Amino acid sequence: MKRSLFIIIAISLLLMQCGIFGDFEPPFVVSVTPLKDSVNVDEKITVVVQFSERMEPAVTEKAFSLVSEGASVDGYFTWSDDGRLMTFTPEYPLKKGRIYYIKITENAEDKKGNNLENEIYQAFTVGSETVKPYVVSTYPAYGTIGIPKESDVVITFSEPVDKSSVLDSVSFSPSFQYQLIMENNNTTARFDPVSTLEYGTTYNIDVGAEIKDLEGNKLLEPYQFMFTVGDDFTSPQLVSIRNSSSAINFTGGVINHDVEKDDSIILDFSKPMNRVNTENYISFSPSVAGGFYWESETRVAFSPSGIFDLDQIYTVCVSRSLTDTNGNELDREYSYLFQIDGSDSQPVLVNKISDTINDPWVNNQLIMIDAFGNFTNLCIHFSSSMNQIKVIDNIDVEYTGGSGSGIGLGISRYIWNSPDDDVLRIDLKGLDSGNIYKLEIKGGKDGVRDKKDNYMKEYFVIFFKT
């Protein structure tokens, strides 16, 4: 009995050796290159796997992967040693500073269809440095308020970083133009604005994770910070407005009187103002040609290029769009009315024209006179002391029609009867009987003027018949 059992066992072992019962032994990995946890591996490395048996290439290749940072590496396979040695060659050189993971799952098979005995999972590092950089500090620090407009933005990293990756991965909102300067052996990135930062603006800075150190290691994590330029957010106010010949401030909602024709309009603000912006948003209605001059950072005056119109009511409007030097807008819009009616800005009047018979001659009246050749002692009475030259240059007599002619017509003499120069006597010559003549005293800014440079608003015209 024992001898029979021994014979049976011997025959079974012999049959197994001959492959009659089949191969059910799982294959296993003998070695992997690069070795597990290797560092300073060359970026052009190939992965070589030695199996214990001949493997099924198509199935085994599918069970293999080389991964870094979640992405698989593409490449191609070659086999040698009668199907026991698999070599994987990456399509492109590997990245320095990265950790790569070799994985061969149990789905790998030998030629007899036996799965791999154990899954293989091991890592190696390309290059010698794998530590990720991170942001150490920033200027301005997160949430800082009151940063000067002339400030640079500075980001300090834990180790030297690649400048191009900084340019690509740091963004500002709102954006501004800058020059990037790398300092301290490339550990500090200084952003130097081309122009000053905007006062009152909050800037948000994103430091992206794509920033890399010199070994190619990406930033440990993205970083954000923010800061505010300036700490003055109070709106300026219009403290007062007045004309230069008075110390009394204008009152809103009423017509302010006693403004002179050559006055400046003076505005005082509560804070230093943006000069260009301020001048652009102060307007007059009706419009006035003129210019601004600044007595201080808070006081500006407007002066007309000529004079204001006599008796005219003006509106001066101060827009809310005015800003102070820190960019804060005016607290509200302001509007004031004023009239050019000061004691030295009264329009000239012709009170009357008279002669020894007719008194007075009224504007636009037809007067009958008995004259032939000359007519003397025609007196013009003005309301103020006159500029003699301006008056003489702007009085004219002309022939308008009749049976005679206008030849030789004119004013033969000008005599100022009053020491105050407010009464002018003229003598006419060249008059013909039966004619109609017009005596015109020119008004407007180009007409007669008094000694205070006031003008007559309208022409004064008399028609007379001989």
Tell me, yes or no, if the pTM score tops 0.75: no
Res 20: pLDDT:
47
Per-residue model confidence (pLDDT) at position 9: 52
What would the DSSP string read from start to end of 36-67?
A: TTEEEE-TT--EEEEESS-B-HHHHHHHEEEE
Q: What are phi and psi of 175, to 5 degrees?
A: -80, 160
Q: What is the pLDDT of residue 2?
A: 47
User: Starting at the edge strand that comes first in sequence, how are the strands of the sheet with 334-340 ordered?
Assistant: 255-259, 334-340, 313-318, 282-285
190 φ/ψ sector (left φ>0, alpha ψ -120 to 50, else beta): beta
Overall residue count recorded for the chain in this entry? 466
User: In this predicted structure, what is the pLDDT of residue 18?
Assistant: 45
* Cβ-contact 64, 104 below 8 angstroms: yes
Please report, in tens digits, the pLDDT of each residue of the chain (466 residues total).
Answer: 445 555 555 555 554 454 445 578 999 999 999 999 888 899 999 999 999 999 999 999 999 999 998 999 999 999 999 999 999 999 999 988 788 999 999 999 999 999 999 999 999 988 766 788 999 999 999 999 999 999 999 999 999 999 999 999 999 999 999 999 999 999 999 999 999 998 889 999 999 999 999 888 899 999 999 999 988 889 999 999 999 999 999 999 999 999 999 999 999 999 999 999 999 999 999 999 999 999 999 999 999 999 999 999 999 999 999 999 888 999 999 999 999 999 999 999 999 998 877 778 878 888 888 777 888 889 999 999 999 999 999 999 999 988 777 788 999 999 998 888 999 999 999 998 889 999 999 999 999 999 999 999 999 998 988 8
- Report pLDDT for 326: 87
CB 336 within 8 A of CB 360: no
Let me know the angle formed at the C-alpha of 135 by 190 and 210, rounded to the nearest 5 degrees: 85
Domains and CATH numbers, the chain: 25-126 (2.60.40.3710), 135-229 (2.60.40.1220), 238-340 (2.60.40.3710), 350-465 (2.60.40.1220)
Q: Is 176 helix (H, G, I), strand (E, B) or coil?
A: coil
Q: Is 70 left (phi over 0), alpha (psi -120 to 50) or beta?
A: left
The partner residues of 429 in beta bridges, in order of sequence, read 374, 410
DSSP string, 426-461: EEEEEE-TTEEEEEEE--STTS-BBTT--B-SS-EE
Tokens at 460, concatenated: 């004064």
For residues 289-303, one letter each, b for 16 or more C-beta atoms within 10 angstroms of the residue's C-beta and e for the rest, the string is: eeebeeeeebebbbb
